Structure 1
Amino acid sequence: MKRNVLIVGAGGVGHVVAHKCAQNNDVLGDIHIASRTRAKAEAIVDSVHAKGSLKTGGRLLAHGLDALDVERTAALIRETKSAIVINVGSAFLNMSVLSACLATGAAYIDTAIHEDPLKICETPPWYGNYEWKRQAECASAGVTAILGAGFDPGVVNAYARLAQDDYFDRIDSIDIVDINAGDHGRYFATNFDPEINFREFTGQVWSWQKGRWTSNKMFEVGKEWDLPVVGKRTAYLTGHDEIHSLSKNLDVPDVRFWMGFGERYITVFNVLKNLGLLSEQPVRTAEGQEVIPLKVVKAVLPDPSSLAPGYVGKTCIGDVVKGVKDGKAREVFIYNVADHAEAFAEVGSQAISYTAGVPAVAAALLVANGAWDVRKMVNVEELAPKPFLALLDRMGLPTRIKDAEGDRRLRFAEPARETAQADPVPAA
């Protein structure tokens, strides 16, 4: 059994991960939070104590860390005897943190695909550009690396696998729909790191249609979806991580991702883009200062973690799956609804961070008890979905299904909880 967790990143998602690890520290053991800005990690530690989130007595410590420094990250893993690393820092850090896990034998979990800061919207499949090139390394070292274990990617991958296992003989299409019907009261803000958020939408929109990669422009293809709780909402075809693994691992001819945007977001985004303010290329001001426009925009926007107080409304995220079962056409919608105010009451975050952070901790619990400790690199859809969804049900993200039989909650048997001590991570 693996114990002791190092959380890399102290943003909104890191905040949720820390609280949820604390709520399960009888299984996960010591919890360490590392950030380039140590004060941010210390603030999360204070928040966990203020909420009384620790289930049992144990270590909860903050550390300063530049996670691009592989040797220092590996040293911290060894110093803290962490057997599991949950990487919820910037997507630019993934390969460095993975390298540190390979050097120490610690299991690796992330919530988003790796990105090169100098490249935007690379050639698909995106996982093939970085992560999958290191599959042999992970297998040789016997290191478990679970990619994209947030909500989307992550839970939606598990939903797709559940659909394949239990509801279809043949799947023809998977449409992942992500609607945030919440209101944070600000004129304009992004729900997670603005730099990463905008990068998703400034390049081509890649989707998997008719068994091949198809390119569109952002906001070129929109569709109205009528969903539970949030009602009718327009969402736009958008490029996203999970398309790049589901298209390979589930052999489905059509895999698309749809994200909801309000008119204000679209207007502001287009103005910023057309003015060149989303550029990552440096420019020189009249005063002779060199600045990067995107980083200036990021600096003036609200910190995503500051949006939680007063955020109201709900999110609805899930998979619309179409195909054939027992010779008949079938359609199901497997989904979750999360509430911003409820997330804030529990852990002091908004629902976007909550839905991204809770699944990463569920994955850590499954690695800890051995169910997902596969000692190789995998995407979530390659793992058994029901133990994962069972944990999410207990941890605040219940799964529902809507089909010809109605709309109902799905329940799964939760894997046995263990609290036994285990050997520390090996020092390579």
Structure 2
Amino acid sequence: MKKNVLIIGAGGVAQVAAHKCAQANDRFGEIHIASRTLAKCEAIVASVRDKGAMKVKDGVIAAHQLDALDVPATVALIRKVKAEIVINLGSAFVNMSVMSACIETGAAYIDTAIHEDPLKICETPPWYGNYEWRRREEVEKAGITAILGAGFDPGVVNAYARLAEDDYLDEITSIDIVDVNAGSHGKWFATNFDPEINFREFTGVVYSWQNGAWQTNQMFEIPREWDLPVVGKRPTYMTGHDEIHSLSARYPKADVRFWMGFGERYVQVFTVLKNLGLLSEQPVKTAEGQSVVPLKVVKACLPNPAELAPEYEGKTCIGDLVKGRKDGRDAEVFIYNVADHKDAFEEVGSQGISYTAGVPPVAAALLIADGTWDVKKMVNVEDLPPKPFLDLLGRMGLPTQVKVNGEAASLDLAA
């Protein structure tokens, strides 16, 4: 049965999701896009039509204005458009509000990032336990499916860990998630997604799960060079990230770390901004008595990530190196994806970072729609069978590749 979809948010990731929903609108029903700025939603609708993305050409795709922090307004819109699946791609600040609206209306809920309080940075782990997981009983009582962190990381990398558990290792001792963007956007400095969320992600304590406990480090304290498929040798740093907070619960005996690639310029700019206090989320007063939030000022001065796509070239490589034991011997598997910025732009008008984040929640929505992932409770991606998800992603433009003990291996995604 077809299910109407409501996408909340109108950034680069939402644009990708809208295109992918349109490409599958023979399996979805109507597609609706909502954000505070109606013009951005209308631009996405126009992009979908300009690309001829609608599989059913006369299908409905419409734009709406919405403040997603307003729960009654979100409830009203869900009911008005008869949405049965809500893909929340708005700011991480709206997660709890959108989830409340889904609980009230009975719509399935999907997001791609952990909830954030705008007045807090880097909460104590496990972060999901501070917000989302506290609402498990509420979600289950409402009989809805809520899939948390269904982007790429978190999301696909969680499914990679589960695939390693299911098919490749008898025991898991470590999970190292590696995210490298080897592309170039031609700007002197820019972030690949919302600058406010990007900087907040790296200004707090770096949490990792090692030796059966939470460990703390500072940002850019622990470097590591990785030699990855296609993109080659790249410098990374251990950072905190959403998926560590859920994977550590499923794999408490394994070390779980996240490594992100950073160029020298990013490290330098970030360090200067942080040391000057310009990445603070707390308001300050100017000499003229005006109250401003430094981080929001920095965001306003930087390029809009959605505008980077036309000049972006190069590739990304994101994957999990999972180590453990198989048949009594040490073993490892690297499960990964390589995406191309130019290919993403040609298909959906967005750069590769948005593409990798925007395709997976649509795949999750399709699996809810056909019943495969419609579990009627709150779950993280690693709690679900990974093969239907990864198989669908491969057909949607994000194929999974595998190396077992350093050697390329075939991948069987038959359920």
What CA distance in whole angstroms lies between the structure 2 residues aligned with 1:181 and 1:401? 20
* Structure 2 spans left out of the alignment, 5+ residues: none
Aligned to 2:8: 8
Supply the distance in 2 between the matched residues of 1:405 and 1:36 (Cα, whole angstroms). Answer: 47
Q: Which amino acid aligns with 1:277?
A: L
Kindly state the Cα deviation for residue 403 of structure 1 after the two structures are TM-superposed. 2.0
CA contact (8 A) 1:243 1:256 kept: yes
The normalised TM-score by structure 1 is: 0.95
The TM-score normalised by the length of structure 2 is 0.98
1:363-412: CA deviation from partner (whole Å, max 9, x where unpaired):
00000000000000000000000000010000000000012372245352
How much is the aligned-residue C-alpha RMSD, in angstroms? 1.0
CA distance in 1, matches of 2:83, 2:10: 17
CA distance in 1, matches of 2:274, 2:260: 19
Q: Confirm or deny: 8 A CA contact 1:2 1:83 kept in the other structure.
A: no
In the TM superposition, residue 290 of structure 1 has moved relative to its aligned partner by: 1.6
Contact 1:74–1:104 (8 Å) recurs in 2: yes
Shift of 1:11: 0.4
Deviations 1:142-198 (Å, cap 9, x if unpaired)?
Answer: 110000000000000000000000000000000000000000000100000000000
Is the 8 Å Cα contact of residues 393 and 411 (structure 1) preserved in structure 2?
no
Distance 1:12 1:399 in 2: 23
Tell me if 1:188 matches 2:179.
no
2:38 match: 38
Deviations 1:11-60 (A, max 9, x none): 01000000000000011110000010000000000000000000002110
**What is the percent sequence identity of the aligned residues?**
73
> Helix, strand or coil for the counterpart of 2:202?
coil
- Tell me the secondary structure at the aligned position of residue 26 of structure 2: helix
Aligned mates of 1:405, 1:270 — CA distance in 2:
36
Where does 1:140-155 land on structure 2 (aligned, <5 Å)?
A: 140-155=141-156
User: What are the superposed Cα offsets for residues 335-360 of structure 1, whole Å, 9 maximum, x if unpaired?
Assistant: 00000000000000000000000000
SS at match of 1:354: helix
Rounded Cα–Cα distance in structure 1 between residues aligned with 2:176 and 2:405 = 18
**1:128–1:320 distance in 2 versus 1, CA, 3 Å:** same
- What is aligned with 1:55? 55
SS in 2 for 1:67: coil
Work out whether residues 398 and 409 of structure 1, in 8 Å CA contact, stay in contact via their aligned partners in 2.
no
Aligned amino acid, residue 29 of structure 2: G
Contact 2:333–2:406 at 8 Å: present in 1 too? no
1:251 and 1:241 map into 2 onto residues whose CA distance is: 16
Q: 3-state SS of the aligned residue for 1:137? A: helix
What does 1:337-348 correspond to in 2, within 5 Å? 337-348=338-349
Give deviations 1:268-305, integer Å, cap 9, x for gaps.
Answer: 00000011111111122222222111111000100000
C-alpha distance in structure 1 between counterparts of 2:2 and 2:377, whole Å: 15
Amino acid at match of 1:59: V
* CA displacement at 1:331 relative to structure 2: 1.0
Contact 2:180 2:260 in 1 (8 A): yes
Q: Which has the larger displacement, 46-55 or 287-296?
A: 287-296
Which whole-Å CA distance do the structure 2 matches of 1:409 and 1:80 have between them? 43
Please state if 1:276 is matched with 2:277. Answer: yes
Counterparts in 2 of 1:215-364, with a 5 A limit? 215-364=216-365
Gapped runs of 5+ residues in structure 1? 415-428
CA distance in 2 between counterparts of 1:151 and 1:362 reads 11
Give secondary structure in 2 for the equivalent of 1:190: coil
Distance 1:2 1:60 in 2: 14
1:153 and 1:174 map into 2 onto residues whose CA distance is 13
Residue in 1 that maps onto 2:28: 28
Amino acid at match of 1:30: E
Contact 1:243 1:257 in 2 (8 A): yes
Letter paired with 2:348: V
Deviates more, 1:333-342 or 1:396-405: 396-405
What SS class does the counterpart of residue 322 from structure 2 fall into?
strand
Partner amino acid for 2:66?
L
Q: Point out 4+ residue stretches in structure 1 off by more than 4 angstroms.
A: none
Give 2:68's aligned residue: 67
Cα contact 1:2–1:84 (8 A) shared by 2: no
Instruction: Confirm or deny that 1:93 pairs with 2:85.
Output: no
Q: Structure 2: how far apart are the matches of 1:266 and 1:301?
A: 16
Note the C-alpha offset of 1:253.
2.2
Q: Which amino acid is the alignment partner of residue 267 of structure 1? A: Q
Q: CA–CA distance in 2 between the matches of 1:400 and 1:4?
A: 32
The C-alpha deviation readout for 1:207-256, integer Å capped at 9, x for no partner, is: 00011000000000011111100111111000000000001023342000
Question: What residue in structure 2 maps to residue 425 of structure 1?
Answer: none
Q: Give the Cα–Cα distance (whole angstroms) in 2 for the partners of residues 26 and 54 of structure 1.
A: 9
* Residue of structure 1 in register with 2:399 after alignment: 398
Cα separation, 1, equivalents of 2:5 and 2:303: 30
SS at match of 2:241: coil
SS in 2 for 1:410: coil
> Partner amino acid for 1:157?
N
Give per-residue Cα distances to partners, 1:105-162, cap 9 Å, x unaligned.
Answer: 0000000000000111011000000000000001111110000000000000000000
- SS of the equivalent of 1:295 reads helix
Task: Please state whether the residue corresponding to 1:86 is helix, strand or coil.
Answer: strand
Structure 1: distance between partners of 2:414 and 2:366: 15
Residues 314 and 341, structure 2, Cα contact 8 Å, conserved in 1? yes
Letter matched to residue 106 of structure 1: A
Confirm or deny that 1:136 pairs with 2:155. Answer: no
